[in-house]
Amino acid sequence: MWAGQERLKDKFTRLFQQQATVFAMGFWDNGSWTWSFQWRRTILPREEEIIQEFLSFLHQVTLVEGRIDKWIWKAAEEGSYTVKSAFEVMQDLELEEPIPVFLELWKGAAPSNVLAFGWRVFWGRVQTKVNLQRRGIITNGENTSCAFCQETEESLNHLLLLCPFSHQVWSLCHRWLGVLTALPDCVSVHFLQFGNDFRTLKQQGLMKTVWLAIA
């Protein structure tokens, strides 16, 4: 059983005796919950103070009859899990210099699964053949050549930028946008530069979403 950010089992170790449900530890009385603990052994005099602290702690939690339990993700205001909020939890929000590529990533208007893919891209965690080999999923004897060109190893930058197939896709995109530019060979730099030729911040933000869709 949990209360707040910790388990009661850990906070009141001396009182923990058995696994049981909350429903087995009390009863409803005219819409109010009353705790009724059945101890499996005699409570020692020195433990009475711990029990009072335990009960005071429980009274901070209000149980509502008929309400269905549900998970709430406290890192997001709406209570639902989002990739962005999870990233912010994992990062130290008090960092003086946040990583620019991630600040731009979360500004995109892409679906959450696309943003999650972008997050993996910029951390270098896309399952390319090179990454799979590093993790031991692909052995040293297996082929790690790019699935598109078969000319070099399938690294992240090669797969998304440098492969002739990928390079052609980006070139067609720039032609469609009417932009003439050199393509960086690093995914994070490429993302940050993409769309900067447009004047307004709104247009530049839209181009970041386009980048994620193409990637």
First vs last Cα of the chain: how many Å apart? 44
Within 10 angstroms of residue 208's Cβ, the number of other Cβ atoms is 22
The residue that leads in pLDDT, 1 or 25, is 25
The domain spans of the chain are: 2-58, 100-214
Task: Return the pLDDT at 17.
Answer: 62
SS (H, E, C) 196-214: CCCCCHHHHHHHHHHHHHH
The gap from C-alpha 193 to its chain's centroid, in whole angstroms, comes to 25
Confidence at 129, pLDDT banded by 50, 70, 90: very high
Question: Per-residue pLDDT tens for 153-201?
Answer: 999 999 999 999 999 999 998 888 887 777 788 999 999 888 777 777 7
What's the Cα-to-Cα distance from 66 to each of 23, 32, 33, rounded to whole Å? Answer: 12, 11, 11
What does the pLDDT look like over 87-120, one tens digit per residue?
A: 777 765 554 455 788 888 887 778 888 888 999 9
Q: Residue 13 is which amino acid? A: T
- Token pair, residue 142, equals 């297996």
Query: Average pLDDT over the chain, rounded to whole?
Result: 81
